[in-house]
Amino acid sequence: MNALEHVLEPITIKNMELRNRVVMPAMGTNLANDDNSVSEANLAYIRRRCQSGAGLYITEIVAVHPDGCASPNSLAVFDDRFIPGLKKMVDSVHKEGGKIAMQLHHVGREGFFQLKSGRAIAPSDVPSLIYGIKPREMTTADIAEVIQAFGDAALRAKDAGFDAVEVHGAHGYLLMQFLSALSNQRQDEYGGTMIKRARFVIEVLNEVRLRVGEAFPISLRISVNEAIKGGYTAEDMQAIVPEFVNAGADIIHASFGTHGSPAGITIPPVEYEPGFNIGLARKMKDVVNVPVIGVGRFTDPALADQAIARGDADLVAFGRQHLADPDFLSNAIKGRREKTIECIACNQGCIERLMFEGGRIRCAINPETGQELKYPIGPVKESLRVWVIGAGPGGLTAAYEAARLGHLVVLFEKEAQLGGQLRFAAKAPYKTAYKHWIDTLAAKVRDSGVEMRMNTYVTKDRLELGNPEYVILASGGEKILCNVEGSRCSMVCDAWQVLNGEVDVGDHVLIVGAGLVGMETADFICSKGSKNVTVVDKLPESPVSSMTSHGYMLHRRLRKAGCTLLFKTEVEQINEGSVTLNIAGRAQNISPLQHVIVAIGLTPKIELKEVLEAKGIQHAVIGDARQARRIIEATEEGARAAWNIVPQTG
């Protein structure tokens, strides 16, 4: 039996025939022009995603009303002037054999862009869960205007050639704000019981159906479970979703969560197993007779095939996997799944970049994503002898990209293993996906023809003998030492030794440094059974923000394990079995202790930079060799260093 028999089976929904059951769901990009029209970057992005071979592509959110735009660079369809650009998007998808649905969206109260300008509207004037700012409560005239806007937008989508529309009723945006008792406190016909709160959604669906006709497919994306204290449940949704189908929904896209749901559950972190949420799709299938799209961090088409075979869903959405590696489906079909770069659910380049940095879409492990217009195809006109020094994420990325473009690449790594800091990060709980990524990337580097020299430390003499034409310095960082009295005691070690299994820690442990390394080391040793773990840092709070999905989960696990976090705290003295701390000017002794683990961080290791400058060798410094930070900075700098290699003139 074909392992993908079910997921590759075609399906017809109204007048739309899909070649398979794989869906790319809506994901924000911020790639639109400043007037919310389709940009060349939008088109390049969607063309690359279409190479996956999925059956259905759903656009990112497209605003149906000027007051409903999520950001200045999100797409819109509230005027006929947007149609030509949107039609180009349709043509791009159709050219690759896929079908495309436009996601119709109104941000309601959950858009800082609208809140800041005073134009945000919502069913009630309850403050935004994220931004804490009150919107304006909608009048019945506002409601009628927005309903008409959804209908107008759907008709424009049909006129632009889209194969379907999707009404966005999930994730805390306007339609869901009406569904939720937490945000809808109206006393009129649009508030009160669940059926009354659903009236707005039903009227939107009725209007959309009226405008597009009976044969045109309408998908409704819903959060089956609100996933927040006091929110509605899957059982509540089961009671109401048949009414949505009666109102015109031909597809139920079964997502979950809202703004403010713990751990950013709508974009689940690596702690959640692929396919973890498919049960909510099954709950919808139990009460409706239309196709249901299942979601939940899917990365492997074989897992989706199993879900469809069980009857849990009719189609399966692959969101961030389309960012990490758009070739995942074709690789699976051709029996070469080992070549797929699987999403590691780090969220650095996608949701966190969009929400916290206001940036445009990226992927921490795929530098092409969001940069399709800048991504060089190659080969270069002149191959150079390129040395990459260091085989962490940045160095591996640089080596692969340089070789892909046709350069002659030698990769040097002073250790016996590839991966740099990721070798240690992958030892933390729930992060085996990071090791899988490094292993897959390393295999791509080998397959690209890069000469790999392990256990090789590059010195000034080696540089002079080798005479490379270009050097990418990805040498990482040096561990910052804890230089206090007693730091050479036998019980002092560093986090990397612990994560690497070189030190078996006891029950009573103090960790110096509450950055990601320190926090994940605490998580690691707590998971091994250590009972009394304290983490200290001189900063007022941990650099690991609980606003991020992984950060939230990490803080929660440490609290549950009884781990103590002390901030504005410095280590003054270490003795065998105890430590003296300065906590906001107050001395405190911690004992008994079996280990003090240093996790202060890294400082750039760039002694070769002076040599390269003195010899006049063209070079780039990337990753931790510039400054200790995240995967996304290392990989993007590595890729750009490779893309920017040019022959030296003169």
Per-block mean pLDDT, blocks of 10 residues, the chain (650 long): 88 98 97 97 98 97 96 95 98 97 97 91 95 96 98 98 98 97 97 98 98 98 95 97 98 93 82 95 98 97 98 98 98 96 96 86 97 95 97 98 98 96 95 97 97 95 92 95 92 96 93 96 94 95 91 95 96 95 93 96 91 93 94 97 85
Alpha carbon distance 566, 526 (integer Å): 17
Six-digit token string for 620? 């780039």
Which residues make beta-bridge pairs with 58?
A: 101
Alpha carbon distance 513, 523 (integer Å): 13
* 492-600 CATH pick, 3.50.50.60, 3.40.720.10, 3.40.1190.20, 3.40.630.30: 3.50.50.60
Alpha carbon distance 204, 176 (integer Å): 12
Alpha carbon distance 273, 268 (integer Å): 9
170 — phi, psi (to 5°)?
-125, 180
**Is 513 in contact with 537 (CB distance < 8 Å)?**
yes
Q: Exposed/middle/buried for 123, CB within 10 Å: 0-12, 13-18, 19+?
A: buried
Q: Exposed/middle/buried for 68, CB within 10 Å: 0-12, 13-18, 19+?
A: buried
Cα 254 from chain centre: 19
Domain assignments of the chain as residue spans, ordered by start:
11-272, 385-479+603-643, 492-600
**Is 327 in contact with 337 (CB distance < 8 Å)?**
no
Q: Exposed/middle/buried for 168, CB within 10 Å: 0-12, 13-18, 19+?
A: buried
Six-digit token string for 128? 């935004």
Q: Please report which helix (H) or strand (E) contains residue 75, including its range.
A: strand 75-76
Classify domain 385-479+603-643 at the CATH class level: alpha beta
Alpha carbon distance 391, 591 (integer Å): 40
Which residues make beta-bridge pairs with 389?
A: 412, 473
Residues 6+ apart with CB under 8 A from 563: 522, 526, 533, 534, 535
Beta carbons within 10 angstroms of residue 375's beta carbon: 16
**Is 574 in contact with 487 (CB distance < 8 Å)?**
yes
Which residues make beta-bridge pairs with 566?
A: 536
Residue 173 falls in the annotated catalytic set: yes
pLDDT of residue 265: 74
Which residues make beta-bridge pairs with 565?
A: 535
Residue type at position 531? K
Beta strands in 214-342 (DSSP E): 218-223, 251-255, 292-294, 315-317
Residue type at position 357? E
Beta carbons within 10 angstroms of residue 235's beta carbon: 10
Beta carbons within 10 angstroms of residue 413's beta carbon: 25
CA torsion through residues 327, 328, 331, 336, sign: positive
Alpha carbon distance 594, 577 (integer Å): 6
> Of residues 45, 57, 131, 173, which has the active-site annotation?
173
Q: Is the CATH code 3.40.640.10 the one for domain 11-272?
A: no
